[in-house]
Every structure is written in C-alpha cells, then in structure tokens.
Amino acid sequence: QPVARIAVIAGDGIGREVMPEGLRVLEAAARRWALPLEFHAFDWAHCDYYLAHGQMMPSDWKAQLAGMDAIYFGAVGWPATVPDHVSLWGSLLKFRREFDQYINLRPARLFDGVPCPLAGRKAGDIDMLIVRENTEGEYSSVGGVMFEGTEREFVVQESVFTRTGSERLLNFAFALARSRPRKTLTLATKSNGISISMPWWDARCAEAAARYPDVAWDKQHIDILCARFVLQPERFDVVAATNLFGDILSDLGPACCGTIGIAPSANLNPERRWPSLFEPVHGSAPDIAGRGIANPIAMIWSGALMLDFLGGRSSCDARWRAAHDGIVRAIETVLRDGPRTPDLGGKARTTDLGSAVAAALA
C-alpha cells in the first residue's frame, strides 16, 4: 500500500478555518480505514506571503509540489490587500494550468435537512455533476490594453479553445455520464451569439457524442441553461461546460441546493502525471472570515473526493472508495440531524460541524 503524500495549502480567510476541519475528518477516515496518508503543510500561496515576498509562492513551488500525490487546498484571495487577479494567477490558476488539471469536477446535490430555496424540492431531486474545462477557454492571458490613457484606448482578451483540450474534456464528461444511471449529458454553449468558437465547441461535442451512442445528450445556450437550473434542476445529470460557463454554473447549482458552503471540487489530471487538487468551490469569504462560522462541509467533501481519486492509483484498493463513501454518509447524517452553521439556518460553529462529521464516521 503506497503512502499518499498530500500537500496542505490553507490559503486565505475561511480557507484557514475550514482546513483544520477537513484534516480532522481525513485523519479520522485514515484511522478507521487504515489509509497511509502523509500530510505536508506549505505556508505560502496566501496574500500575507505576497505582502512579505512580492510573489504568492516561492520560485521553486513546482518542484516542491510535483512529487505530491494530491494537493488539499483551502481558498485564496484577500482583495483588501492584493488584487484578486494577482493572487489567483499567482497560485490556484498556476496549479490548474501547470499541473494540467484539465477536469474540474463539481457535484451539486440537494441533501435532506438543507433548506432549498426552490419550492417543492426534496432531497435527491437535484443530483448533478458539473464537468468544467479547467485550463483554457475564457481564462487566457492573451490580450492587452492598447493606447492606454488616450481616447483610442481599448482592451482585448482572447478565448482559446484547443482541439485536444475540448476533446479530452468532452470524452471525460461522456464517460462519466455513461457510468451514471440516467446516462444524460447537457452541453453548455452560446453558439447563437459567440459565432466562431461556440459552433466549433458544439461540433466537438457532436463528435464526442458519436463515440458514446448510449448517452443521451442535448446542448443548451448558457442563458436558458441558467434559467432551467432554477426552474427544472432535476432534469440535469452531467453538465459539460467551458471554463467560464462552468465557473458560473458551479456556484448556481449549489445555490439551488441551499448553500455554496457544501460544494466540493476535484481539479483532476486524470493521467496522474501531475498532482490533482481538491478544494471547496467557494472562496475565502472575507465577509465572514475570522468569526469561526464558515461551513466546513465543502472542504470535508473535497477531502472525500481526494481519497476516492487516490484509491485509483495503480494498486487499487477498495478501502479508499469505502472511506469516500463513509465520509459522504457522515455528511448526509450531519446535514440531516446535526449542528447547522448560519448558511444552513443555524448558529453552530465551523468546529461543531467538523467534530460532528468526524464523530459520525467513527
């Protein structure tokens, strides 16, 4: 059983508050299922490091992390002191791109006990997987501001969609849809208005679909797709999207399920050439940081996704999958009967939920 080396990067704001709860649950799971986890904490990739060093990470960050099996990541961003594009392009977006984590897998599920903002929905009615392209698309650094300060000033920023990048994303999404009972995929697009790249993206999807004839699929323009997330969320199973559309849908889906405080994500390099990264969908939440009331479930669920992925290393062992399933069951139990943080309508603290999930595991 090879040891799994996990880099721990807490980041900023509530990242520092939810990380200890994620680790508490991972340690409980490691004891219960005898998993050989080894944690390595890195005190960089946060805004105080930037203020002290003029960069978000040491210059050899890639060498320090490349030998890890996974990165367990809190959240980065403290816009009061460092502009967001500087902190994020100096850390998280570097990880995604340099470690070729081209899949960003983001589940959204309605749980028993979580108040749903949509009328008439019960647990299980919403259960979707958003598969977000994570290395290209609208997130490019190609472009610039010209004639700055003159009346001719303009700005251009390109979107870049590669054939390889689109095909691997869509193949992954179709294979995932095939593995699920409903075998259904929805493509997020905007090929009516974005007249060059988006028809091309639709064509890549049609090609991928031909390789998965048993998966039912349709394409929906992003505007009506957002409306249907709110009006008919139960119809969605796997939703494949470009980087920006996937970003938006992966806050909207969890919001339709009651809170973004429980939404996890897996930034995957499926070939395992580089470490994959597991983090909440949410950010550093400066508005509640320092008060000990952030919901740690997104961090904890992300840890479960990490164990599941680690279990798929060469010597596949059912204990990793069992640990994932056990953590998800413990989350279900706590959301149904346990303490609630304010985003869930309660008064409980971050540590109360972390302890409750760890106790439910034992």
How many residues does the structure list for the chain?
362
When CB distances are held under 5 to 8 angstroms depending on the partner's kind, the choice from ligand NAD, Mn ion, ligand IPM, none that residue 166 binds is: none
Instruction: Identify which of residues 12 and 352 has a Cβ nearer to ligand IPM in the complex.
Output: 12
Minimum gap (Å) between residue 329 Cβ and ligand IPM: 26
222 binds, among ligand NAD, Mn ion, ligand IPM, none (CB under 5 to 8 A by kind): none
Residue with nearest beta carbon to ligand IPM: 88
Q: Which residue is nearest to ligand NAD (CB)?
A: 77
In the complex with ligand NAD, the residue whose CB is nearer, 36 or 115, is 115
Q: Which does 260 bind (CB under 5 to 8 A by kind): Mn ion, ligand NAD, ligand IPM, none?
A: ligand NAD
Sign of the torsion formed by the C-alpha atoms of 351, 357, 361 and 362: positive
Residue 279 binds to Mn ion (criterion: CB under 5 A): no
Which distant-in-sequence residues (6+ apart) come within 8 Å of 58 by Cβ? 44, 64
138 binds Mn ion, rule: CB under 5 A:
no
Q: Based on the number of CB atoms within 10 Å of its own CB, is 6 exposed (0-12), middle (13-18) or buried (19 or more)?
A: buried
Q: Is 247 in the site for Mn ion (CB under 5 A)?
A: yes
Q: Please choose which of ligand IPM, ligand NAD, Mn ion, none residue 79 contacts, taking the beta carbon within 5 to 8 angstroms, the exact cut-off set by kind.
A: ligand NAD
Q: Are 153 and 176 in contact (CB under 8 A)?
A: no
Is residue 22 within 8 A of residue 8, CB to CB? The reply is: no
d(C-alpha 205, C-alpha 223), whole Å:
19
Please name the residue ranges forming H helices in 100-231: 163-178, 197-211, 222-231
Binding site for ligand NAD (CB under 6 A): 14, 75-77, 79, 84, 88, 92, 260-261, 279, 282-288, 294-295, 298, 343
Per-residue b or e along 282-311, where b marks 16 or more CB atoms closer than 10 Å to that residue's CB: bbbbeebbeeebbbbbbbbbbbbbbbbbbb
Least distance to ligand IPM, CB of residue 84, Å = 7
d(C-alpha 335, C-alpha 346), whole Å: 11
Only one residue has tokens 């490691």, namely 30
Q: What minimum distance in Å lies between the beta carbon of 216 and ligand NAD?
A: 32
Six-digit token string for 297: 């479930």
The CB-of-83 to ligand NAD minimum distance in angstroms stands at: 9
What's the closest the beta carbon of residue 265 comes to ligand IPM, in angstroms? 7
Q: Which is nearer to ligand NAD, 35 or 47 (CB)?
A: 47
Beta strand segments in the chain, E: 4-11, 37-41, 70-75, 103-109, 127-133, 143-146, 154-157, 184-189, 216-221, 238-241, 264-268, 276-280
285 binds, among ligand NAD, Mn ion, ligand IPM, none (CB under 5 to 8 A by kind): ligand NAD
Binding-residue total with Mn ion (CB under 5 A)? 1
> Is 168:182 a contact under the CB 8 Å cutoff?
no
The CB-of-251 to Mn ion minimum distance in angstroms stands at 6
Query: CA–CA distance from 66 to each of 62, 211, 236 (Å)?
Result: 6, 33, 36
Q: Which does 295 bind (CB under 5 to 8 A by kind): Mn ion, ligand IPM, ligand NAD, none?
A: ligand NAD
- Of 159 and 284, the one with the shorter C-beta distance to ligand NAD is 284
Residue 267 beta carbon to ligand IPM: minimum distance, rounded to whole angstroms = 8
| Closer CB to Mn ion, 133 or 247, in the complex | 247
Concatenating the DSSP letter of every residue in 208-266 gives HHHH-TTSEEEEEEHHHHHHHHHH-GGG-SEEEE-HHHHHHHHHHHHHHTT-GGG-EEE
CB of 241 to ligand IPM, least distance (A): 12
**Binding residues vs ligand IPM (CB under 6 A):** 88, 247, 281, 283
User: Could you give the CA distance from residue 162 to residue 99 in angstroms, rounded to a whole number?
Assistant: 17
17 binding Mn ion? (CB under 5 A): no
Q: Binding to Mn ion by residue 133, rule CB under 5 A?
A: no
Q: At closest approach, how far in Å is the CB of 77 from ligand IPM? A: 6
Binding site for Mn ion (CB under 5 A): 247
